[in-house]
Structures are given as structure tokens and as C-alpha cells.
Amino acid sequence: MTYLKYAVLAGALTLAATVTSLHQAHAEQCEQESFEEAKYVVCTLEPGKADLRLFWKNADDAPYRTFSSLAEAVRAEGRTLAFAVNAGMYRADFSPMGLYVENARELQRANTTKAESSTGQVPNFYKKPNGVFFLGEASAGILPTSEFLKRRPKARFATQSGPMLVITKKLNPIFIVGSTDRTRRSGVGVCDDGAVRFAISEDGVNFHDFARLFRDHLNCPDALFLDGGRGVGLYNPEMGRNDRSWHGGYGPIFGLVE
């Protein structure tokens, strides 16, 4: 075999291996998993290697609202939106309920309001403690809101939601074993291996079981609830998913850009 033919063959094999590796890595981002008879989609990303961002408003200063509109905006920049989920609770105008940091700019201040309820039903965002997911240059973290405000870690992106699901390997003590409050839920965890894992339930689950998914199955010592019911959504073209919110759209959105 001549040197030229050998070089061409070696280059082709390297390219094929690279394409295969990229395809496998992409395919493994989101997987269907089961935990205690409930079905989930779990998406795993590595900070520093994955271009995970937070999105809220487009170039016209209007909320994206749908995964499709965000995908179009990313495509216009010559990139691809590979994955997206709701990034926390939002108001009727699609603005974040609490702290929101995008590209190191604080666009919404932290919400430390204590909700009062005559019926005893405190909205999920205000259940204590709520927390902040934040993403730095090469790592991610989740802290109760009060701790985040004390430490003020440097963050490129941050979103506040609630309640916390898992706090330093302990379940939030407000959760009730066997609760009948079951609905679809979404959340995010920062796990023992440093990976960020998003979980979207396909079945109705209560808070206690959802928190155990992160702690006991996904090995995440810290996890934060993002939203439930009609606010749960997933965008993943490889799985044929482009969910829509029954609230008329989404507020802040996590998006993986490739």
C-alpha cells in the first residue's frame, strides 16, 4: 500500500471513528429510565464540555415561549438546539419567578418573599427551602437560595426555583412518604461525578419519590425542582420530542447548543 493510500485510509477511519463517537455521545445525552415503576427521561450533560445555556428573551426583547422559536433563533446563528427543558417557574408574562442570570448579567433579582396561604397550600416555588441552580465556566452547583445569596458564587447562568429536592444528600424534610399529590414533574441535579442531570417524569409522581430518584438512582447530592403538571416540557429531536406548555408557553429555558 502506498503512503498516500495509507494516509487516505487512516484519515477516513479516524473521521468515521470521530463521527461514531459524536453520535454515541449525542445519543446518550437523553435516555428513558425507570425507577420504582415510574418512567422518566434523564438527560446527562458535563459542564465545561457541553454548551448549556439559559434563555428567556429573543432579539426583540420578547420571551421565546416555545422550544421551536428558540431552536429557530439558534439555527439562525449557525448552531443547533440539541436539547431543552423548562428552567423554572414563571409568571403570567413569562418572566422568571425569581433570580435569573444570563451571560453573567442579573436580569431578575432573587425572590425571598414568604408566601402566605389561608388554605395551607403554599405554591411550590415558595416551599422551603427553594434554591438556585448556577453554572460557572466549568462546573455547576445547586444551593438553597439563602446560601446562594450569602456566598454569591460566580455564575454565568443561574435560575431560582423550588422547592429543593435533595440538599447535601438529604431529602427535603417537608416531603411526605406516600403522598397522593402525584403529577408529572421536572428537576435538575448536580451529581457525584460532577455531571448535571435533568429528569422529566412521564408518569405522575409525588415529591418524595421524585427526590429519591435524584438521590438514590442518579446519585445527585443536590437537586432542585423545576416545574410540574402542565409546565413540564422536553425538546429533543432525536427522541421526537417538542413539547408545548399548556400555560401558553415557557418562561426561562435551559438549552444545549451544539
Residue 107 burial class via C-beta count within 10 angstroms: exposed 0-12, middle 13-18, buried 19 and up: middle
Region 184-210: what's the mean pLDDT?
Answer: 97
Asked if 134 contacts 140 with a C-beta cutoff of 8 angstroms, the reply is: yes
Would the pLDDT of 20 be above 70? no
Contacts of 151 (CB under 8 A, 6+ apart): 143
- Digit-coded pLDDT (tens) for 83-136: 999 999 999 999 999 999 999 999 999 999 987 665 668 999 999 999 999 999
Per-residue model confidence (pLDDT) at position 2: 53
172-188: average pLDDT: 97
Q: List, for residues 51-91, the tens digit of each pLDDT value.
A: 999 999 999 999 999 999 999 999 999 999 999 999 999 99
What residues contact 247, with CB distance under 8 A and at least 6 apart? 230, 231
Q: Which residues 6+ apart lie within 8 Å of 53 measured at CB?
A: 102, 157, 254, 255, 256, 257
Mean pLDDT, residues 219-233:
96
The arithmetic mean of pLDDT across residues 219-240, rounded, is 96
**Grid cell of 64 as nine digits:** 421565546
> pLDDT exceeding 70 applies to what percent of the chain?
87
What does the pLDDT average to over 227-238?
94
Amino acid at 185: R
pLDDT at residue 28 tops 70:
no
Say what the pLDDT of residue 13 is: 41
Residue 255 pLDDT greater than 50, yes or no: yes
Determine the pLDDT at residue 114. 86
